[in-house]
Structure 1
Amino acid sequence: MMALSRRQLRVHKPDDLRMDEMALPELTGADALIRVAACGICGSDLGYLSKGGMRGPSDTPLSLGHEFAGVIEQVGNQVCGLHPGMRVVVNPDDNLIGGGGPEGGFSEWVLVRQARAGSNIHPIPDHLPFELAALTEPLSVSLHGVNRARVTPQSKVVIYGAGVIGLGIVIGLRRRGVRDIVVVDRQQERLEMARHLGASATINPGSEDLRATLGKLHGESQKYGFPMVNTDIFIDAAGAGSLLQQTVEMCRSGTRIVIVAVYRQPVAIDMVMVMAKEIELTGSIAYPDDEFQEVIGMLGKGEVDTSTLITHRFPFDQAMAAFAQAKDTASALKVMVSIDEG
């Protein structure tokens, strides 16, 4: 018999995370109810918790969790191509799941309104573990950044940040045939992971001069008297404002800079330099359905060992400890919470 309530992690105010007992929402004809098996903690979840909500505290607590996989429990009579017992991952965008809507993946059940197979709900192979399937969302963010960069196999690419998104970008670049991949991060363990996944070089700006090292790796040139490094594309998955300005100063003419990171504050950029060098600044957020499906295919085929991205695992009863661990970015990459793997 179905429960009438569910536990749901919600942010009430800054650094106030609670496990709330909530009534199950009513299923209508176009909806699907998902029993959540696993949900990953994203950096944005930590940001929302710190701020007390999407943009700060509000009258309505914020439901957390958008990186999740599970099993369909029920479907409405208007839903096509989906059925109870089907193993799935959910594209959270349509329903703002874990992003301002009433639903969040850190819950025993999630209601997906206007459920559509291949759009906001995607079947996964039976052999794919739920915790790996839950990586579909962040790896799709990474893949979209790669696609926005319009790379070719000959591109010389620099990635700022070796968190899960940055490491996912390494994976995406390799799948697009790119081999000249430089990853920049201050944590040596993450740089080692980047090399393991296919980065050709790594730079720790805490101990190396970023510009000088890139000049050695990618070559140098000048235009209008500006000394430049010959990197073709920079993909920012770090969100460090000073680093972005440094990139504008040192990059070559025609460089493309793709912003995948979430900046919490406005950043000052020398727009004269952007104009003079004809720099392309490109934003990247979320993912279309075909990229989501491409990542599921990659995970299902086991093309890359993505299990190494998951550094810590917790049961749902220890969700508070899981979030505490996720805040320790010196040791944690992806912290995965097991909710009900059946």
Structure 2
Amino acid sequence: MRAVVVQDGELSVAEVPLPVPGPGQIRLRVTRAGICGSDLHVRVHADASADVAAEVGYPDFMRPKHRVVMGHEFTGVVDEYGPDTRRRWRKGQAIVALPLIRHGDDVHMIGLSEHAPGAYAEYMLVAEDAAMPVPAGVPADLAALTEPLAVALHAVHRGAVTRRDTAVVIGCGPIGLAVILMLKALGVRRVVATDLVEGRRELARRCGADVVTGEPWAGLTKPITEIYGTGLDALHRLRQVPGLPWWQAVRAARRFSGGPVVFECVGVPGVIEDIVTHAPIRSRVVVVGVCMEPDTFRPTMASNKEIDLRFAFCYDPAEFHETLQMIARRRIDPRPLLTGVVTLEQLGDAFDRLRKPGKHAKILVDPGNG
């Protein structure tokens, strides 16, 4: 079968053996695969990613010398079952799956290990228990977006965002746009989006951002003396009321004293420091962008402003399932994310285009075309 193989940062179309499903596995005929920002990073920073993965207990993350078929965002149709499967779905049924698979006693990350070839291929293997049927009426182009949208849903959950919160999305690449889509689908009333690239700002508008700006903090930040002054004025008024337990009123006001929820979706050094410096007091900051280099920020600034700094990675199976159902029920419309479909032969060019921020957000691969 045909597949795109990466080795030493180079992508090439190659003939590779047709995978044979093992115990508990399904072979899929891939219908669509998404190009993830992680794929762009790992192509050139594989060792850095592999070192971190090894430190947290996964020693088989891809390295430059490995020959790897990437692609962990995908949908396909059931082609063949392996032994010890329940054969839950008919052949030809469209499914999506978590990008994890077990080989013997080892668990591998699909598309990010030479032991688990991914979706930039005509066929691939998935775990039956990790697979979910695509509801009727959901086209392959949208089903393939389940994985990146699940990342966004998890990030929104990590931010504990409510409808009355203001959400600020820094960076309108594919993951930032997915976060905007999720925030609006969950009813967040005010979403502010910012990006340096006009094409991405336009995509943010199409994804439902209420405010698209180059200056996200306008109207949100106040000098610390003004905040202290407001507090003293309120305390003065409260203490003018005889018998009023003013401390209870102050305690109740805490619920409304937080700043916005900020989503860092850029992933380059210096962005966290910039957010910590400029975000309003008591902001919750969710780091979603994948920064592959060491970075610094000033803890004393974060402490003075009581900034909550959280990091988001991946999703859980329930969030993956919830995302698929949101797509099927049209609670979320991810079509603005889609900016192109390419063949396996065009994949290398698509990688190059996505590394230059512009009009593109999510480019899908159709392995059966060409």
TM-score (norm: length of structure 2): 0.80
Q: 2:145 aligns with which of 135, 140, 143?
A: 135
Aligned partners of 2:150, 2:158: CA distance in 1, in Å?
A: 12
Aligned partners of 1:77, 1:256: CA distance in 2, in Å?
A: 48
Matches for 1:148-187 after TM superposition, within 5 Å: 148-187=158-197
More strand by share: 1
Contact 2:19 2:27 in 1 (8 A): no
Aligned partners of 1:177, 1:203: CA distance in 2, in Å?
A: 21
Larger mean CA deviation between 322-331 and 154-163 belongs to: 322-331
Contact 1:215 1:230 in 2 (8 A): no
Q: 2:109 aligns with which of 84, 91, 96?
A: 96
Aligned partners of 2:264, 2:218: CA distance in 1, in Å?
A: 18
Q: What amino acid is the match of 1:11?
A: V
Q: Check 1:318–1:250 CA distance in 2 against 1; reply closer, same or farther (3 A cut).
A: closer
Q: 2:91 aligns with which of 84, 97, 100?
A: 84
Q: 1:62 aligns with which of 55, 64, 68?
A: 68
Aligned residue number for residue 34 of structure 2: 40
Contact 1:257 1:280 in 2 (8 A): yes
Q: More relative contact order in 1 or in 2 (CA 8 Å, sep 6+)? A: 2
Matches for 1:306-325 after TM superposition, within 5 Å: 306-325=334-353
Aligned length, in residue pairs: 322
Aligned residue number for residue 312 of structure 2: 284
Q: What amino acid is the match of 1:96?
A: M
1:51 paired to 2:64: no
Kindly report structure 1 stretches of 4+ aligned residues shifted beyond 3 Å: 51-59, 223-227
Q: Check 1:318–1:251 CA distance in 2 against 1; reply closer, same or farther (3 A cut).
A: closer
1:243 paired to 2:271: yes
SS of 1:62's partner is: coil
Aligned partners of 1:322, 1:252: CA distance in 2, in Å?
A: 38
Per the TM alignment, residue 190 of structure 1 is displaced from its structure 2 partner at its CA by: 1.7
Per the TM alignment, residue 140 of structure 1 is displaced from its structure 2 partner at its CA by: 0.8
Q: What amino acid is the match of 1:260?
A: V
Q: What amino acid is the match of 1:97?
A: I
Per the TM alignment, residue 275 of structure 1 is displaced from its structure 2 partner at its CA by: 2.5
Q: What amino acid is the match of 2:14?
A: D
Bigger Rg, which one: 2
Contact 1:69 1:90 in 2 (8 A): yes
Q: 1:106 aligns with which of 120, 123, 144?
A: 120
Q: Check 1:191–1:20 CA distance in 2 against 1; reply closer, same or farther (3 A cut).
A: same
Contact 2:170 2:194 in 1 (8 A): yes
Aligned partners of 1:304, 1:149: CA distance in 2, in Å?
A: 19
Q: What amino acid is the match of 2:123?
A: W
Q: Check 1:268–1:324 CA distance in 2 against 1; reply closer, same or farther (3 A cut).
A: closer
Per the TM alignment, residue 123 of structure 1 is displaced from its structure 2 partner at its CA by: 0.7
Can you give the 5+ residue segments of structure 1 that lack an aligned partner in the other structure? 1-5, 205-209
RMSD (CA atoms): 2.5
Contact 2:207 2:336 in 1 (8 A): no
Can you give the 5+ residue segments of structure 2 that lack an aligned partner in the other structure? 51-61, 102-107, 230-256
Aligned partners of 1:198, 1:318: CA distance in 2, in Å?
A: 30
Q: What amino acid is the match of 1:291?
A: E
Contact 2:182 2:332 in 1 (8 A): no
Per the TM alignment, residue 52 of structure 1 is displaced from its structure 2 partner at its CA by: 5.7
Per the TM alignment, residue 225 of structure 1 is displaced from its structure 2 partner at its CA by: 9.0
SS of 1:50's partner is: helix
Contact 2:200 2:358 in 1 (8 A): no
SS of 2:128's partner is: coil
Q: What amino acid is the match of 2:93?
A: M
Q: What amino acid is the match of 1:43?
A: G
Q: What amino acid is the match of 1:50?
A: V
Per the TM alignment, residue 304 of structure 1 is displaced from its structure 2 partner at its CA by: 3.6
Contact 1:75 1:83 in 2 (8 A): no
Contact 1:8 1:104 in 2 (8 A): no
Superposed CA offset, 1:141-165 (max 9, x none): 1111101000111111111111121
Aligned partners of 2:228, 2:8: CA distance in 1, in Å?
A: 48
| Overall identity of the aligned pairs, in % | 29
Aligned residue number for residue 3 of structure 1: none
Q: Check 1:160–1:105 CA distance in 2 against 1; reply closer, same or farther (3 A cut).
A: same
Superposed CA offset, 1:104-147 (max 9, x none): 110111112x420xxx2111023211111111111111111101
Contact 1:34 1:70 in 2 (8 A): yes
Aligned residue number for residue 288 of structure 2: 260
Aligned partners of 1:277, 1:329: CA distance in 2, in Å?
A: 32
Per the TM alignment, residue 241 of structure 1 is displaced from its structure 2 partner at its CA by: 2.7
SS of 2:182's partner is: helix
SS of 2:109's partner is: coil
Aligned partners of 1:223, 1:148: CA distance in 2, in Å?
A: 31
Per the TM alignment, residue 59 of structure 1 is displaced from its structure 2 partner at its CA by: 3.6
Per the TM alignment, residue 230 of structure 1 is displaced from its structure 2 partner at its CA by: 7.2
Per the TM alignment, residue 221 of structure 1 is displaced from its structure 2 partner at its CA by: 4.6
Per the TM alignment, residue 34 of structure 1 is displaced from its structure 2 partner at its CA by: 0.7
More helix by share: 2
Aligned partners of 2:272, 2:339: CA distance in 1, in Å?
A: 29
